[in-house]
Structure 1
Amino acid sequence: MKIEAEIENVKNILVADEKFYQVPDYQRPYSWDKDNLSDLIDDLMSSFTDNKNDNYFCGSLVLVNNESDNRLDIIDGQQRTTTFTILACVIRDLYFSDLEPKAKKYINNSIQDEFEDKKRKLKFLTNDSYQIDFEETVLKGITFSETKHIEKEFSANKYLQNAHFLKNFLEEKLDELNIDINEFTIWFYENVVLTVITCPSQDSAIQIFNVLNDRGMPLSSIDILKSSLMQKLENKEDRNAFKVKWENVDSNLKFNDFDLDGMLNTYLYYKLAANPKNRLDKELLNVLAKEDKTSLEIIKEISEFSISYIETLNSGDKYTHCLKYLKHKIYWTSILSTAKYTRYKHIKRLKHSLVAYYYQNWIAGATVARIKQTSLNIIKLIKNEAPIEDINKELKLNLKRYSTKKTFEEEVYGRYVYGRKWDRALLLLVEYFSSDLDNPTYIPINNKLHLEHILPQTLTDEWKEIFNEKEIESWTHSLANLTLLSMRKNIQAKNNIFKDKVAAYKNKDNVISSFLVTQYLFGCTKWDVEELKAREDVLMEKVYEVVDIF
């Protein structure tokens, strides 16, 4: 079967006897809001009054023929199709007696089969409660309320909520433009057109959808994965059990401020231990198909892995805090989640090794290509219960191959540390490992965390008496001359002489800087090249203690 594309009007799409639709269970819930509906009615009414004899193009509809249900799965176009059906119900319940037989037939047959009253043209598989709400409060008949607080009163039922909005918009426009409802209804079914693309498979439909739907988010691979796994379950009880488990996983992740997509990608890396070549759902389904497990066994494993993922990201230790600043999160989260899930014996030493390896690469300016394969190799080693010495050997070989340590040293001892993407992260590493606490408070890198130049960038005459031009050039943006401050402290310190800066760090407004790397300065009576060298030694000793372990 090939991909077929045709321009069809709403009559051919919704009224035709042989066409029935469903929103698959992996789709997101119906979500159009008041603004979407207002724009639609305005556009329809304007087109009707200004260009009654022309067609009004209303987007695309991407479908897949679902032979098991004798219905067409809506891959793209759920929002419009659902809204058109609700609009038909609103016109039916407000103006049916004003319609001529032709318009009445269009309305009735776009809601349900002409010969079977209980066979609806559109149904939802996303959630049983959605179909019940749609059936009981809209399809069977709408009981309109005169409330002015539509969103609040019908917050739990989006279909009924939007039926009320459509009623108000429709009444307003019909009155304002003096439009005959019968003429408008016939025009709507005969002149509103969509590009209908019928695809032979889910895969081809998603590719089409991603090209067409450039104004919205593409259909999630997660939704496809969920649907594919559910379809393998034969009875309703198992499908419901799967759904409940899946939703529990999603809820637990959201409760911890994590997302399902991130966890499942980490799970994929754990299962694959190789670089994915296809979409998340396709890769995972291929891997899982080889294991001969039922969908219920698979969701049980995903659930258990998600707990390991959450525990990994919620770890309050110094190493995890440092890893969170890295850009390429997928690698360390996959390694540590795998270690947690498989109960690897040397997790603490593993964390230390990862911080050392990734920070050397980050500061040395390594690309993701340099760390990717080694990271995947580590996942394999953990799954094979390899000793930590084997893991460190793998990391060391990679660092040696690219002379990473040499470049790392050139960068941290360089004159331009300030402004690098890792400048605050490296000082925070020193901060964490200067504390006696095993689980210090995590410090996010945001606009409240400032990097202070002790020797200011803008110099007063007092500073120029202490440093010559060459020293200023060498030390101003070096690691030794940088410290951490809250935004408030940074403002207080300004470009003052050293004594006044320390006073601001120490007790301005009776608030002491909380950063240990800054409190070090309290013991300094001056700030010159000698003190800069001394602080460089202190900072680098701590950096090397953590990072130079191979």
Structure 2
Amino acid sequence: MASANLLDTKTVNLNEVLGNGKIYRVPQFQRDYSWGQDNWEDLWNDISIVKETGNPHYMGSVVLQNVGSKQYLIIDGQQRFTTLSILTLAFIARIQKLSEDGIDIDANKERVDILMKQYIGQKDPASLRYSSKIFLNENNDGFYQQRLLTFKSPINVNKLSDSERLMWDAYVFFQKSIDRDFKSETGENLANSLNKVIGDLLMFIQITVEDELNAYTVFETLNSRGVDLTSTDLLKNFLFSLVAKSPTDLSQVKGQWKKIIDAIGLKDFPVFLRYYLQATRQMVTKESLFKVVKQYVKTNSDVFDLLDHLEKYAYTYVALGAPDDELWIFDKEIRNCINALKIFRVTQWKPLAMVAFEKLPDAEFKRLIFSIVAIAYRYNVIAKLQTNEMEKIYSRASINLFRNEQATYQSALNDIKLLYLNDEDFKNYFQIKQFRTSNSADKKILRYTLYKLESQEGGHSYDFETDAGTIEHVLPESYPEIWHDEFTEDEYQRNIYLLGNLTLLEPSKNNKDAANEDFNHKKLIYATSQYTITKKIDFDTWTSNTVKHRQGQLAKIATTVWKI
């Protein structure tokens, strides 16, 4: 366990969370309430199971930041905290209704007071209103305090914001669920269900941290383990807090932030921010991102400077992942390169490309993208080498290009040339390359590869995504009996997905004529194909040695296709 001043972790139930006079605040700029019908139904079903079995139910992790005086910021868990608060209000409203209907009036009134104090907060002696244990963000807290905590219906539901409407719908949902499933329950039984079932048996892993940096670290740790958290919210809260003293600055920052998030998307923002820093400042790991941001951003002007640069690069970053983006509308060759890199699922090059797009003339930017495709195909697709060093090299190249006013395509290329696999090594890796055609990602890269080879050999510029050509296995994928003399089962397994055994063929020839025929029959069909690489399959027999020989031929062609 980490030292006490970093974080504290323990398992607690809802009663322990809301007990001991603790106050919880959703950070001012945290996202609005967003749970919907599916979430409410899941929670209600969980409660029903707990009630029936008497077994605890774990609600997952919550991350709290201790800000002193028994006050905590809800770094992660606001959706659950808010929903459970609304649920308790629905239970309390039901008991209050019993009292109003003349059922056990005094006892139910007392139950309402006790439960409000236990789950909602203390009553103010002046206003006689309950002061909340939970305070929501700037957009939701007014409705929560003024309507839900006072059991007042909205004046006009249609005028509510989306998040306010969701909060109200949650309250109505739980009221209806209680009316249905606790229809004839007494106030005593309702209070017992709230206190002993929901309060005692809904469990949380409570992680308490002492500062924003540790909160971010916990976020990233939980994210890496598949927990649905958003570090973007934490970064936003930090930036907004630096300008919050000035309403004008805050309004401007909010507007600029919205533009960036609308362009990038909440989920992808941390990656974009990290790539921006790697392109212009320093190499940044996912875990150190928040620490590095705090290093560079300390004042109002730093926030504006960062957001200005992020807005400038945001549209380029998006376009680098979208072949159909309007940025490439007049350049089919760049579109094809962006598409290829997307298919390769390689992204480490993006920091360099972001800077190059801003700094280099169009023709030099285009040359650099061509070179990046060649590097990525050799390094990532065929050799499948480690990407850790790759990210560092691209970051150094990006920063050099960003800082150097005289930078050129050649200087950028010199900075990344270590990643360019030489022809001999490339051929060696290429000659053993297999593509699993049952895997959709592999199949897409295979089509790209075969069509590029076809273009080089036959001069035909077919579009590998739209052309009707199919993948043909010379040695059939089904391993029919007529091929058993040429390939043992072991040889079949080793050869079926080798590139030397794969080619392009028109659908009609593949499905009807070639299919599972022997090689001599297939060879006659290949001779009539429109694809040059298929016509050239003109061997006497098709064996393991033939597959190896053809793959060697394709490897030589490949060195001329993916070349700087």
2:345 pairs with 1:333: no
Maintained 8 Å contact 1:430/1:543: yes
2:165 pairs with 1:165: no
Which residue in the other structure is 2:263 paired with?
A: 252
Which residue in the other structure is 1:390 paired with?
A: 411
Which residue in the other structure is 1:498 paired with?
A: 522
Change (3 A) 1:57 1:354: closer
| 2:394 aligned partner, one-letter code | S
- Deviations 1:94-141, CA, capped at 9 Å, x for gaps: 32125535422234333354216374332222x61x334534553332
Change (3 A) 1:43 1:397: closer
- Deviations 1:319-375, CA, capped at 9 Å, x for gaps: 22222232432x122221221133455101111221222222232342224533332
- Deviations 1:290-330, CA, capped at 9 Å, x for gaps: x984323322221111111123233452322222232432x
Q: Give the Cα separation in 1 of the matches to 2:256 and 2:374.
A: 38
Which residue in the other structure is 1:528 paired with?
A: 539
Count the aligned residue pairs: 507
- Deviations 1:207-229, CA, capped at 9 Å, x for gaps: 55677799862533322211111
Q: Given the alignment, which residue of 452, 457, 465 partners 1:443?
A: 465
Q: Give the Cα separation in 2 of the matches to 1:432 and 1:211.
A: 47
- Deviations 1:432-458, CA, capped at 9 Å, x for gaps: 777787xx867399xx99632245466
Which residue in the other structure is 2:561 paired with?
A: 546
SS of alignment partner, residue 175 of structure 1: coil
TM-score normalised by structure 1 residue count: 0.74
Change (3 A) 1:66 1:218: farther
- Deviations 1:128-157, CA, capped at 9 Å, x for gaps: 1x334534553332549xxxxxxxxx9972
Which residue in the other structure is 1:305 paired with?
A: 313
Which residue in the other structure is 1:41 paired with?
A: 47
Which residue in the other structure is 2:102 paired with?
A: none
Q: Given the alignment, which residue of 374, 377, 382 partners 1:359?
A: 377
2:112 pairs with 1:104: yes
2:426 pairs with 1:408: yes
Q: Taking every aligned residue pair, what percent have the same amino acid on both sides? A: 19
Q: Give the Cα separation in 2 of the matches to 1:294 and 1:475.
A: 58
State the Cα RMSD in Å.
Answer: 4.8
Which residue in the other structure is 2:359 paired with?
A: 342
| 2:379 aligned partner, one-letter code | N
SS of alignment partner, residue 26 of structure 2: strand
Q: Give the Cα separation in 1 of the matches to 2:271 and 2:484.
A: 51
- Deviations 1:224-271, CA, capped at 9 Å, x for gaps: 2111111100223322332232222222335xx993344233223213
Which residue in the other structure is 2:450 paired with?
A: 427
| 1:91 aligned partner, one-letter code | F
Which residue in the other structure is 1:134 paired with?
A: 144
Which residue in the other structure is 2:325 paired with?
A: none
| 1:389 aligned partner, one-letter code | Q
Change (3 A) 1:452 1:281: farther
Which residue in the other structure is 1:64 paired with?
A: 65
Maintained 8 Å contact 1:352/1:546: no
* Runs of 5+ unmatched residues, structure 2: 100-104, 155-161, 323-327
Maintained 8 Å contact 1:309/1:337: yes
Which residue in the other structure is 2:158 paired with?
A: none
Change (3 A) 1:449 1:122: farther
Which residue in the other structure is 1:200 paired with?
A: 210
Which residue in the other structure is 1:95 paired with?
A: 95
Q: Give the Cα separation in 2 of the matches to 1:243 and 1:481.
A: 57
Change (3 A) 1:240 1:490: farther
Q: Which segment drifts farther, 389-398 or 334-343?
A: 389-398
Which residue in the other structure is 1:483 paired with?
A: 503
SS of alignment partner, residue 399 of structure 2: helix
Which residue in the other structure is 2:236 paired with?
A: 226
Alignment of 1:142-221 (within 5 A): 143=153, 157-175=165-183, 180-187=189-196, 191=200, 196-207=206-217, 217-221=227-231
SS of alignment partner, residue 72 of structure 2: strand
Change (3 A) 1:172 1:488: farther
Q: Give the Cα separation in 1 of the matches to 2:411 and 2:234.
A: 38
Which residue in the other structure is 2:132 paired with?
A: 120
Change (3 A) 1:94 1:227: same
Q: Given the alignment, which residue of 35, 40, 63 partners 1:31?
A: 35
| 2:18 aligned partner, one-letter code | L
Q: Give the Cα separation in 2 of the matches to 1:476 and 1:529.
A: 19
Q: Give the Cα separation in 1 of the matches to 2:77 and 2:551.
A: 61
| 2:346 aligned partner, one-letter code | H
| 1:498 aligned partner, one-letter code | K
2:93 pairs with 1:84: no
Aligned-residue offset at 1:180: 2.3
- Deviations 1:389-445, CA, capped at 9 Å, x for gaps: 23333444554xxx7432211233x265444956444224446777787xx867399
Change (3 A) 1:275 1:207: closer
Maintained 8 Å contact 2:434/2:498: yes
Aligned-residue offset at 1:386: 2.4
Q: Given the alignment, which residue of 227, 232, 241 partners 2:252?
A: 241
- Deviations 1:448-475, CA, capped at 9 Å, x for gaps: 996322454668899899x999xx9999
Q: Give the Cα separation in 2 of the matches to 1:435 and 1:26.
A: 56
Change (3 A) 1:253 1:397: closer
Q: Give the Cα separation in 2 of the matches to 1:199 and 1:541.
A: 58
Q: Give the Cα separation in 1 of the matches to 2:179 and 2:226.
A: 30
| 1:302 aligned partner, one-letter code | L
Q: Which segment drifts farther, 38-47 or 220-229?
A: 38-47
